[in-house]
Each structure stands twice: as C-alpha cells, then as structure tokens.
Structure 1
Amino acid sequence: MAISKTELADHVADAMKISKTDARGCVNAVIDAFCDALQAGQDVRVQGFGTLKVVQRNARLGRNPSTKEPVPIDACNTVQFKVSQRLKELLPNVK
C-alpha cells in the first residue's frame, strides 16, 4: 500500500490542525525543495528518515526478458534513497 500526496497532506492537516489547502501547499513546498536541491546536485538529508541523492549509473548490458537478447542500457542519473539508522530500527526488516 502506498500513501498518496493527498493522503499525506490530509495527515499533515489533521496533525497540525490547519486547512487541507494549507497542508497541500506545505507538502508541495517540501517536495519542491527536495527537487530543487537534487537538481542543484545537493543531497537531501531528513534526520531520522533518510538521505536522497543523485547518483550516476554506468552504461551496462541488459537483457530483454522475452527474447533473451542483449540490450545496451545507457548511463543515466538516478535518485538513490538511503534509510536512516533510526528508521532501520523502527522497521526491523529494512536493511
């Protein structure tokens, strides 16, 4: 089960006792700040939750699962998430 941005905003509205419109604005502002930092090449560290950072993935040779033919996969940037130690302790099955 996933939590949507709307559900997250509803939770923020309830927890902070603010309007859902204001909560949606807060959630969007946080997401925008994360995106801006990642685009600028900065890591995003949320204490007690984890770290987001952009990493370079090397070019590699993949395989088409239906035909088993080799397929070249270009190098690209991707976002990596590393779970904080505190969150690992709360979720014992997370490595």
Structure 2
Amino acid sequence: MSTIEWHVITRPRVGGCMTKSELIESIASKQTQLSSKDVELAVKTILEHMSQALADGERIEIRGFGSFSLHFREPRRGRNPKTGDAVELTGKYVPHFKPGKELRERVNTGLQLGL
C-alpha cells in the first residue's frame, strides 16, 4: 500500500500576488477582535469608496502609503493583434498609483533583506 505525502507549497511573495481574500485572511488573523466577515466588509467598503472617488475624478492621498490619481492616455493608432489592421484608439483615463516615501523605503528594505 502506498502512502501519500502532502507538501505545503508557499508562493514566493516577490513577484507573487496577494489576492483580496488573502488580504482579508491576513488582517483577520492579526485583528482577532474582528470577525472575518467584518474585515471582509471593511476591505470591500474601502475599495468601493476608493473606486468611486477615482470614477468621480478625485485624487486619493494616503500619507505614508501613496496616492491614487487618474492619468489621461492620448488617442493613438493601435493594431489589431489578430489581423494586423490599424485601429484608432480613443483617449481614456487610467488609474495611476504613486507610492509614498515610507512605502518605497519599506519595500526596498524588505527586498534587500530577502523578505
């Protein structure tokens, strides 16, 4: 009879991706006085308010973390990758994030230490 071995595979954080669910789990595990549902509601509410503020053309600034704003992309000529035909692309606004000084320093220190 063969035995099955289970291995825990962890994703490396550098170049990895933290999902909204993982963020909620992480916060809930550190803030034990809050239920996972409360943390989930808080995270979803914050993201919804931030999304709406950007949709309304507002800039969001979180001191020490960074700022979110909109950048306008000029109309341009693009190509349909399937056919190669030229297509005119309209101008559009895209969200932009500029990290704050403390966040930049923390990220660079963490990466240099191999965290």
Instruction: Return the TM-score normalized by structure 1.
Output: 0.81
Gaps of 5+ in 1: none
SS of alignment partner, residue 41 of structure 1:
coil
1:54 and 2:56 equivalent? no
Higher strand share: 1
Could you tell me which residue of structure 1 aligns to residue 35 of structure 2? 19
SS of alignment partner, residue 98 of structure 2:
strand
Q: Tell me how far apart the structure 2 counterparts of residues 2 and 69 of structure 1 sit (CA, whole Å).
A: 35
Gaps of 5+ in 2: 1-15, 109-115
Give CA deviations for 1:14-70 in whole Å, capped at 9, x if unaligned.
Answer: 122111111100100110110121122111112222111122211112345676654
Q: Tell me how far apart the structure 1 counterparts of residues 30 and 40 of structure 2 sit (CA, whole Å).
A: 13
SS of alignment partner, residue 91 of structure 1:
helix
1:10 and 2:25 equivalent? yes
Q: Tell me how far apart the structure 2 counterparts of residues 36 and 71 of structure 1 sit (CA, whole Å).
A: 30
Could you tell me which residue of structure 1 aligns to residue 54 of structure 2? 38
State percent identity of aligned pairs. Answer: 27
Larger Rg: 2
Aligned pairs, number: 92
Which residue identity does 2:27 align to in structure 1? V
What is the deviation of 1:88?
Answer: 1.4
